């Protein structure tokens, strides 16, 4: 009986040490993620101060960042634009078919060209030059 009790206590000590190690790793990961989120938030706040129009979108065209310059240029508030498909919201007129542009973006990592887009008020912006960047995560 004493032998079984000693073995059980040893297994509890070992398992407790394993759980503490796992918990420490998890806590470190959470802290690193929070620090990364804080850095991204600070960078987004800096982009929001820019007078230039800055819009980021995913590969499906969904807007995931829309700064104050974009609000001024196009007339939609950030809360209205984020999540929308950029070329649908802005009624973008492309110089070539969208699949060809997407293929070039994926092949070269960027695409540059003249786009005609419409503001919320309905009138067209001047033809603007845009660069689309692609980064791997």
Tens digits of per-residue pLDDT, 32-43? 999 999 998 888
Q: What is the 3-state secondary structure (H, E, C) of 45-57?
A: HHHHHCCCCCEEE
Q: What are phi and psi of 126, to 5 degrees?
A: -65, 160
Q: Are 52 and 69 in contact (CB under 8 A)?
A: yes
Tens digits of per-residue pLDDT, 68-89? 999 999 999 999 999 999 999 9
pTM score, whole prediction? 0.66
Query: Domain residue spans in the chain?
Result: 1-49
Q: Is the dihedral of CA 49, 51, 55, 56 positive or negative?
A: negative
Q: How far apart are the first and last CA of the chain?
A: 56
Mean of the pLDDT values across residues 50-56? 86
């Amino acid at each position: 009986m004493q032998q079984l009790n000693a073995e059980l206590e040893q297994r509890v000590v070992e398992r407790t040490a394993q759980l503490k190690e796992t918990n420490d790793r998890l806590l470190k990961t959470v802290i690193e993620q929070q620090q990364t989120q804080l850095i991204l938030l600070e960078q987004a706040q800096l982009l929001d101060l820019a007078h230039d129009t800055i819009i980021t979108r995913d590969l499906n065209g969904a807007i995931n960042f829309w700064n104050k310059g974009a609000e001024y240029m196009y007339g939609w508030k950030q809360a209205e634009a984020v999540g929308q498909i950029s070329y649908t919201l802005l009624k973008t007129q492309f110089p070539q078919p969208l699949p060809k542009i997407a293929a070039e973006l994926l092949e070269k990592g960027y695409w540059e060209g003249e786009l005609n887009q419409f503001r919320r008020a309905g009138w067209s912006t001047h033809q603007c030059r845009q660069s689309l960047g692609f980064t791997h995560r």
